[in-house]
Amino acid sequence: MMKGKFLYKWFAAFAMVWVISSCDYFDLDINEDPNNPSQAAPELLLTSAQYSIAANLAGGTNDAQLGFAGIIASFDNFNMSNSSFNGVWNNLYAGPLKDLEGIIEVADVDNNGDGKADNPHYLAIAQTLKAYVASTLVDLFGDIPFSEALQGDGDAAIKNPNFDTDADVYNACFGLLDQAIANFALSSPVAVKGDAIYNGNVTRWKKLANTLKLRLYMQARLAVPNAATEINKLLAEPGSLITAAADDFQFQFSKLVAPDNRHPWYQSTYTAENGFTYILHQPMVEMLADGDPRFPFYFRRQTKQVLDQSNPSERNTTPCSMTVGCQYGYLVLNDNVRQQIYGTTDLTQDQIDFLAGCFGRDRADPAGVPLDGDLRLIPGVYPCGGYYDVATPALPGSNKAPGGGIFPIITHVNTLYYQIEAVLALGSAGDARALFESAIRKHIDKVVNFGRATDANSVSPAAADIDAYVATWLERFDNAATNDAKLNVAMKQLWLSSWGNGYEIFNAMRRTGYPSTIQIPINPVRDFPLRLPYPQIELTLNPNASAYSSVVYDRDPIFWDK
């Protein structure tokens, strides 16, 4: 009996060992958790990087550059500190740049031994986006940590990276883009997923890489000896650039309330009490005077009330009531503005009602901020997904507007302005006037098409009104006597076409000095910024940043600003 019991236990133990061994339990690595992989999938990293790029660059730094350019009242007096941009600096390094480096690490592996990356398309996209983010940091700050950056968790960890010169980072970006273009040309066994911008369309990504390369050469055309040659080469290659709306490099924000990944302007304007800064008067007045068909897509009026100047409370809320030197002031009561827009100072009630809602500020008005959030002109349907400006102004209501805004980063319209500049400033081949007309019309189309698709109240402008507006600007272009004067006209239209993207116009103003017809700031605290101040977080925590504490943002230009 004891013997039988022993044999039973022996066979049971043997069977258990056999079962366990057949399931490869002895091959498990107890240090690896299959439910928490040490490396994220490239499609997850790509989506994260793209959203983080848009969320960080469509907000604070974008607003600041529109303020520098005299379009909104964000740093429009040029007064910044080393704490002003800690967030975007830290977020871009810890967010998209780190995610993109993770994609490059995963995708740039040659398991086949053929000298090519196993996953060339993910690799090329990451290289393109890395070049975009790094070059944007250069445009904003100058020298940045680059070659030693993003290695804080490596085998030979670099906790305090050295800075690369701005010119060297640009050269590295050209190299990244050349590598990306070559990698896009390879076949890939893996389809790109997680792409919130082009949905894995490699042809469009390749166009972006070429257009970004053109953009960087245009930026650096006064500092890089072979820039003109490279620009002409890129312009001469058919089908290589972003030339259609479907190719635009832009990010589509969400419409959802939770999680709130809506456009930063939507979040500050349409989710609760209006917290958006002032829209400046000059763009309002000039767009109305010229009959710009984009006005009701760009802006939304909230009121038709004319503030009573005999009432101290209402007078103290009136724009420029406490400031000397205003050019525009309270538009509805300014006879010069009335004459400029309507051709008369004797307005109808409808005209008074309309102009009362065009409530903003002159550039660098130093007055305090009264409780006028319900009066100010606010961003409209384009690009943040707000409201089209209907005939009767009204407060927008929390979370009532459509949402789904966009951050237009590099568009087919921008490509046309690069070409215009190349023709006028470098003597490149092309008809600058025809390109200019196309740029105006295509931007109007882009704005109107987005508005119509987003807010059902949007109304397409009449073709005759568009033609009249275009004719006004072509006459200005024709009357400009020199190529420099024509470029000034073109850059002024780029200024008007940069609503939602301050990067292009701030870069253009530093690169060309145009447009020169922007209202002079009433009371600027500093001179026009040539860069952003280095973030205090980097100056404090990175010993290798100490030399940059002496950089002065309104004195020291970056390398391409000649």
Q: What is the pLDDT of residue 27?
A: 43
> Residue 292, CB half-sphere, CA atoms under 13 Å: how many?
22
- Which of 56-65, 114-123, 251-260 has the lowest average pLDDT? 114-123
Tell whether the model's pLDDT for residue 192 goes beyond 50: yes
**What does the domain layout of the chain look like in residue ranges?**
42-243+525-550, 264-379
pLDDT at 25 over 90: no
Which of the residue ranges 8-22, 225-239, 279-293 would you say has the lowest mean pLDDT?
A: 8-22
Beta bridge partners of 300: 378
User: How far apart, in whole angstroms, are the C-alpha atoms of residue 258 and residue 497?
Assistant: 31
Average pLDDT along the chain? 93
pLDDT at residue 33 above 90?
A: no
pLDDT above 80: residue 319? yes
Instruction: Report d(CA 212, CA 178) in Å as an integer.
Output: 11
- Residue % of the chain over a pLDDT of 90: 89
133/39: higher pLDDT: 133
pLDDT at residue 31 in the model:
47
CATH number of the structural domain 42-243+525-550: 1.25.40.390
Q: For 433-442, how does the pLDDT look when each residue is reduced to its tens digit (9 = 90+)?
A: 999 999 999 9
Q: Residue 20: pLDDT above 90? A: no
For 414-434, give one letter per residue: b (16+ CB within 10 A) or e: bbbbbbbbbbbbbebeeebee
Token digits of residue 100: 């993109």
**With b meaning 16 or more CB within 10 Å and e meaning fewer, what string describes 126-146?**
bbbbbbbbbbbbbbbbbbbbb
pLDDT at residue 14 greater than cutoff 70:
no
Q: Which of the pair, 507 or 33, is modelled with greater confidence?
A: 507
- Looking at residue 443, its pLDDT comes to 98
Sign of the four-CA dihedral 309, 314, 320, 322:
positive
281-303: pLDDT as tens digits: 999 999 999 999 999 999 999 99
* pLDDT at residue 156 in the model: 84
Position 414 scores a pLDDT of: 98
Tens of pLDDT, residue by residue over 395-411, are 999 999 999 999 999 99
pLDDT attached to residue 39: 65
Categorize the per-residue pLDDT at 263 as very low, low, confident or very high, splitting at 50, 70 and 90.
Answer: very high
Instruction: Tell me the pLDDT band of 38, cut-offs 50, 70 and 90.
Output: low
